[in-house]
Amino acid sequence: MPLTRTPLLAETVRKLVARGGYVNAYKIFNRLHPSDIAAILGDLSEHLRRDAFKTLYRRNLTLASEALSELGPERGAVILSEMSSQEISAILQELNPDDAADFVADLPAELQEEILGAMRAKEASEVEDLLQYPEQTAGRIMSPKVFSLEEESTVEEAISQLQDAGDLEMVFYIYVVDEHGNLVGVLSLRQLLLKRPETLLKDIMETDVIRVTTDTDQEEVSQLVASYNILAIPVVDAQNKLVGVITVDDVIDVIKEEATEDMYRLAGLDVEERVFTPPSTSIRKRVPWLVVNLATAFITALVVAQFEATIAQYAVLAVFMPIVPLLGGNAGNQTLTVMVRGIALGEISWANSRKALVKEVIIGATNGFVVGVLVGVVAYLWKGDPIIGVVLSLAMLGTLLVAAVTGTLVPLFLRWLKIDPALASSIFVTTATDVVGFLFFLGLGALALARF
Amino acid sequence: MPLTRTPLLAETVRKLVARGGYVNAYKIFNRLHPSDIAAILGDLSEHLRRDAFKTLYRRNLTLASEALSELGPERGAVILSEMSSQEISAILQELNPDDAADFVADLPAELQEEILGAMRAKEASEVEDLLQYPEQTAGRIMSPKVFSLEEESTVEEAISQLQDAGDLEMVFYIYVVDEHGNLVGVLSLRQLLLKRPETLLKDIMETDVIRVTTDTDQEEVSQLVASYNILAIPVVDAQNKLVGVITVDDVIDVIKEEATEDMYRLAGLDVEERVFTPPSTSIRKRVPWLVVNLATAFITALVVAQFEATIAQYAVLAVFMPIVPLLGGNAGNQTLTVMVRGIALGEISWANSRKALVKEVIIGATNGFVVGVLVGVVAYLWKGDPIIGVVLSLAMLGTLLVAAVTGTLVPLFLRWLKIDPALASSIFVTTATDVVGFLFFLGLGALALARF
């Protein structure tokens, strides 16, 4: 949420809650949109957040549950952790089933049972149904509350049913089903307004409905909604029975989540981590990546160790040693980022990936030449030794070529293995550029200095 | 666009166009959604893309312009570059004004004039109006075609006007204005269905309308739409006059664009670059970043140069030298990514940024200790020299602390300067961790080896 919107209010609420002015804090909350309340709650310390939420919860259960839903499972966990399972159930049964499922999924298994048991039977079973589907699939993120009508209904019946359908806040399309509940058509709300009351839905519906199945990956769902510019996409089971709908607001969350995921994976971070994840959790999640990096750093050290004797003789090699791997790492990272993002946005297909490789090799060769000449000249001017300059130039050119090739091929290869290209690409690419960078520079350096 | 959807069709079209089978290629296009046509065009070589587009353009101008719009200005540029300004105008005047403005903005200034001159007057002036607003503002990305009614209108009049408003494809809300055209209220389409025909709009409208002004940054627009779960946001000028609307499909584009921007900036890439940007452009855009990196690499080399004599004496230092800066760079990058993404998602405010710093320092200290002990033990086992082990451990701890502090403070400081935190953070952080990493390790190493 933008920082410009609620900082003053947040400060006021913070002071009120800290002083025990719960009633006045509630009065402020009561005037706000749930998403603003969530922004304020998210800004408070964990202790104050719990107190402020309790105030809201006691006075306005609906608003409290909406705010919790906006806060999301990660930042909401600390609030729920202090409540009884009765209280948690009372809140969760107010949420949309897909949002409630997000919260329940994050709880320990025994607490899940207890909470679902304490919820109203209808809501509990809706949540349980959603939890059957794997995370990040259409089935898991869909809302089972989908507005549908039979194909034999008339426009007049459709409008009257729409008027009766109270709690469906986001109806954009009317999905039309046959007698078995199979999805056969779609109509927009506006089309209803344009037709005569007695018209049958089956005569005006669009039959070519873009749809997904419950096991479709959420990233594909978001790409479909985004590229077809639609507001909602129906979800069907393997028998084409309409079982849910995913609306554009959920798609926006998926798009943000997937972008975060890619950025995090490129940096070796766990997808679940957020700015205010407790430090103990962050430590546990970041250490493995650092240990993997340590292992690759030792590989680098092993390469350098082969040249220990040469370095003892020509210590100047050690001075210039960091330059080539540093630049190689950066160039590799540029290529890698373009590729990973291009794959995520669906711009790279198998057909055009060769073109991408050719392009990156041309860039690597040119930039290797430009940066190579530059580094050689500067080194020569500094140390007055042409040999170091030439060695640096050549090593730079070679390393930037390797950076281009690995930066392109590693993510493509991972995708071919059906692994997220963002997940492990950077470790392979930087290891390659580090090893090759030291090897080229020290190897050429050892040869040249021994000979001239 | 997902790779799973159109690869076979793309292959067929490629073969058809390559063989000159334009009529059959057109028959395929004619059955597809514009976004699928765009996906296929984007996949073709530039030469075939132009030919395929020309086929489409001659037979179905509307479909051609829709496909071009989906392809976007970057990938569409190569198509327009081969067309006459008459032809370009004929296409652009079919697009929504905001999409047309995107294309026009990317053209050379003299061609802009010529094309706007050849367009129908109404469309040309709509595009010109939009181009007055700076890039990445609400004014630039809004659609000036906004559906609004006067507050004295009745529900019945509203419905009949909706039925007449032909080409407004994405009407979700009805904005209500006063006699001066000022925005005073909003209604959803569904609310219209629930009210009696003679009801006045001003009696049923919601008056607390979430709105932005023409100069609002597009990132803030997208955060508002996403956090309030709305489908469109009205844009007003400084006098609160309703001038346009931004719909959720444009917001999705903004969210993707901003995520790409952050990822690219962290990797030192230009925001405009795409997978298939011509190599010459990519080279021009990537070299400056590499040159900046080269400068920082020389700073690193300068630090190492201070220890040249020590390294000549103890070449083992050179072997372990790369390890600490490598790990420091990775740890700094983890912190930086969490911060940059947290700022972009609006999770970090000034109030809670101290908390973020404390958290990262705790993580840096703990991970520094864990990885420090590990690297020390491995180095000791390898070389049998406890001094190197202890020096590595201490240098690692110190460097990971510096990584935590700079990784947190640099993006916050840049934001305070109103610079995009993603833009230059990584260069400062990696330079800091490199310099400090070499300095701590070689400095401590020189001291220890000289003494023991």
Q: Print burial letters for A299-318: b (CB count within 10 Å at least 16), e (below 16).
A: ebbebbbebeebbbebbbbb
Alpha-carbon span B234 to B183, nearest angstrom: 8
Closest chain A C-alpha to B377 CA, distance in angstroms: 12
Question: Which three-class secondary structure state does DSSP give residue B246?
Answer: strand
B271 Cα to chain A: minimum distance (Å): 10
Which H or E element spans position B185? strand B183-188
- Indicate if the alpha-carbon torsion angle A310, A311, A316, A319 is positive or negative: positive
Mean pLDDT of chain A: 88
pLDDT of residue B170: 64
Identify the three-state secondary structure at position B362: helix
Taking each continuous run of H as one helix and of E as one strand, the counts in chain B are: 22, 6
Which residue in A43, A363, A438 is closest to B286 by CB distance?
A363
Q: Which residues of B touch A279 (CB under 8 A)?
A: 359, 362-363, 366
Q: What is the pLDDT of residue A167?
A: 58
| Angstrom distance (rounded) from CA A431 to CA A440 | 14
Tokens (6 digits) for B99 = 């999409």
- What letter does residue A168 receive in the DSSP assignment? -
Structure tokens at B247: 């719909």
Question: Residue B265, SS3?
Answer: helix
Residues of chain B positioned with their CB less than 8 A from the CB of A33: 228
pLDDT at A4: 40
Mean pLDDT on A181-198: 86
Q: Measured between CA atoms, how close is B181 to chain A, in angstroms?
A: 25
CB atoms A323 and B331 under 8 Å: no
Residue of A nearest to B273 (CA): A338
Q: Which pLDDT score is estimated for A450?
A: 84
For strand A212-213 and strand A183-188, is the pairing parallel, antiparallel, or unpaired? unpaired
Sign of CA dihedral A59, A61, A64, A68: positive
Q: Which residues of B are less than 8 Å from A370 in CB distance?
A: 283, 287, 290
CA A115 from chain centre, in angstroms, equals 28
CA–CA min distance A117, chain B (Å):
31
Contact check, Cβ <8 Å, A346/B283: no
Q: Could you tell me the pLDDT band of residue A2, with boundaries at 50, 70 and 90?
A: very low
Which is nearest to B142 in space by CA: B133, B152, B150?
B133
pLDDT in tens, A204-226: 999 989 999 999 999 899 989 98
Confidence of residue A326 (pLDDT cuts 50, 70, 90): very high
Cβ contact, residue pair A226, B311, below 8 Å: no
Question: Does the beta-carbon distance from A326 to B248 stay under 8 Å?
Answer: no
Q: Given an 8 Å threshold on Cβ–Cβ distance, is A348 in contact with B275?
A: yes
**Helix and strand numbers, DSSP H then E, in chain A:** 22, 6
Distance, CA of B243 to chain centre: 25
Looking at chain A, the whole-number percentage of residues with pLDDT higher than 90 is: 48
Quick check: B342 and A3 CB within 8 A?
no
Q: Which helix (H) or strand (E) holds B449?
A: helix B421-451
Compute the nearest-CA separation of A75 from chain B (Å).
10
pLDDT in tens, A331-349: 999 999 999 988 888 778 7
| Positions of chain B with pLDDT under 70 | 1-7, 166-170
- CB contacts of B347 in chain A (<8 Å) are 42, 274-276
**Which residue in chain B has the smallest CA separation from A228?**
B35
User: Could you tell me the two tokens for B385?
Assistant: 């020299």
Residue A1 has pLDDT above 80, yes or no: no
Across A92-106, A181-195, A400-414, the highest mean pLDDT is recorded for A400-414
Structure-token match 């070689």, residue found: B442
Mutate to test the interface with B, among A286, A366, A418 (most CBs of B within 10 A): A286
User: Which positions in chain A touch B352 (Cβ < 8 Å)?
Assistant: 43, 275-276
Contacts of A253 in chain B (CB under 8 A): 226
Q: Nearest Cβ partner of A279 from B70, B225, B363?
A: B363
Which residue type, as a one-letter code, is found at position A252?
I
Contacts of A352 (CB under 8 A, 6+ apart): B43, B275, B276
SS3 content of chain A, % helix, strand, coil (to 5): 70, 10, 25
**Residue closest to A375 by CA, chosen among A440, A451, A300, A428:** A440
- Give ∠ CA B282-B285-B288 in degrees, rounded to 5: 135
Express each pLDDT in B283-304 by its tens digit. 888 898 899 999 999 999 999 9
Task: For residue B291, list chain A residues with Cβ-Cβ distance below 8 A.
Answer: 371, 374
Say if residues A104 and A135 touch (Cβ distance below 8 Å): no
* Encoded tokens for A351: 């057909």
Question: Rounded distance, CA B387 to CA B374, Å?
Answer: 14
DSSP state of A373: H
Count of pairs with CB atoms under 8 A, one residue in A, one in B: 343
Q: Are strands B212-213 and A173-177 parallel, antiparallel or unpaired?
A: unpaired
Mean pLDDT, range A77-106, rounded to an integer: 88
Phi then psi for B242, rounded to 5 degrees?
A: -70, 120
Give this complex's ipTM.
Answer: 0.81
| Residue B5: per-residue pLDDT | 52
Distance in angstroms (rounded) separating the CA atoms of residues A401 and A365 = 6
Measured distance CA(A396)–CA(A365) in Å, rounded? 10
Nearest to A51 by CA among A75, A87, A16, A1: A16
Give the C-alpha separation, B233 to B214, whole Å.
11
For testing contact with chain A, the best of B69, B341, B431 (most A CBs within 10 A): B341
Helix, strand, coil % (nearest 5) of chain B? 70, 10, 25
Cβ contacts (< 8 Å) between A325 and chain B: which residues? Answer: 322
Q: At CB < 8 A and 24+ separation, what contacts does A201-208 make?
A: A201/A149, A201/A150, A201/A151, A201/A152, A201/A153, A201/A154, A201/A155, A201/A158, A201/A174, A201/A176, A202/A151, A202/A152, A202/A176, A204/A155, A205/A151, A205/A176
Residue B316: how many other CB atoms lie within 10 Å: 21
What pLDDT band is residue A168 in, cutting at 50, 70 and 90? low
Residues B334, B57: Cα–Cα separation, whole Å: 48
Contact B444, B394 (CB under 8 A): yes
Query: For tokens 């403070």, what's the residue?
Result: B409
Cα–Cα distances in Å, from B162 out to A339, B79, B168, B175, B178? 45, 36, 9, 12, 18
Task: Please tell me which residue of chain A has the smallest CA distance to B217.
Answer: A2
Query: Phi/psi class of residue A168: alpha, beta or left (left: φ > 0; alpha: ψ in -120 to 50)?
Result: beta
The partner residues of A154 in beta bridges, in order of sequence, read A200
CB contact under 8 Å between A226 and B269, yes or no, is no
Q: Is A338 helix (H, G, I), strand (E, B) or coil?
A: helix
Closest-CA distance of chain B to residue A24, Å: 21
Strand partners, A200: A154
What is the least distance, in Å, from the CA of A349 to any CA of chain B?
6
Specify the amino acid at residue A262: D
B214 token code pair: 């023409």
- Could you tell me the CA-to-CA distances from A70 to A91, A95, A96, A135 in Å, in that order? 13, 10, 12, 19
Give the nearest chain B residue to A164 (CA atoms): B194
Which residues does chain B have within 8 Å of residue A363's beta carbon, measured at their own beta carbons? 279, 282-283, 286
- Per-residue pLDDT band for A5 (boundaries 50, 70, 90) equals low
Between chains, do B337 and A251 touch, taking CB under 8 Å as contact?
A: no
Quick check: B296 and B312 in contact, CB under 8 A? Answer: no
**Inter-residue contact A327 to B439 (CB < 8 Å):** no
DSSP states of A51-113:
HHHHHHHHH-HHHHHHHHHHHHHHHHHHHHTTS-HHHHHHHHTTS-HHHHHHHHHTS-HHHHH
Q: Find out whether B173 and B232 touch, Cβ atoms under 8 Å.
A: yes
Residue A435, H or E segment? helix A421-451
- Please answer yes or no on whether B334 and A4 come within 8 Å at the CB atom: no
* Mutation site, A274, A337, A416, interface B, largest B CB count within 10 A: A337
Q: Is the dihedral of CA B128, B134, B140, B141 positive or negative?
A: positive
The minimal CB distance from A263 to the residues B10, B263, B319 is found for B263
Q: Which residue has the tokens 């392009």?
A: A359
- Spatial distance between the Cα atoms of B326 and B317, rounded to a whole number of angstroms: 15
Facing A269 at nearest CB: one of B7, B263, B337: B337
Interface touch B276/A45, C-beta < 8 Å = no
Confidence band of A429 (pLDDT split at 50, 70, 90): very high
Contact A228 B286 (CB under 8 A): no
CA–CA gap between residue A400 and residue A324 (Å, rounded) = 9
pLDDT band at residue A170, thresholds of 50, 70 and 90?
low
Is A276's pLDDT higher than 80?
no
Helices (H), A84-236: 85-92, 97-105, 109-118, 121-131, 138-141, 155-164, 189-194, 201-204, 218-228
Q: What confidence category does residue A169 fall into, taking pLDDT thresholds of 50, 70 and 90?
A: low
Do A318 and B322 count as a contact with CB atoms less than 8 A apart?
no
Domains annotated on chain B, with CATH: 7-135 (1.25.60.10), 148-257 (3.10.580.10), 279-451 (1.10.357.20)
Confidence (pLDDT) at B3: 36
8 Å CB contact of B345 and A256: yes
Q: How far apart are CA A283 and CA B360, in angstroms?
A: 9
Interface test with B, best of A71, A196, A230, A252 (most B CBs within 10 A): A252
Of A305, A319, A340, the CB nearest to B308: A319
**Burial bucket for residue A110 (CB in 10 Å: 0-12, 13-18, 19+):** exposed
Q: How far is CA B362 from CA A280, B256, B278, in A?
A: 9, 33, 45
Q: Which residues pair with A174 in a beta bridge?
A: A187
Length of chain A: 452
Shortest alpha-carbon distance between residue B162 and chain A (Å): 8
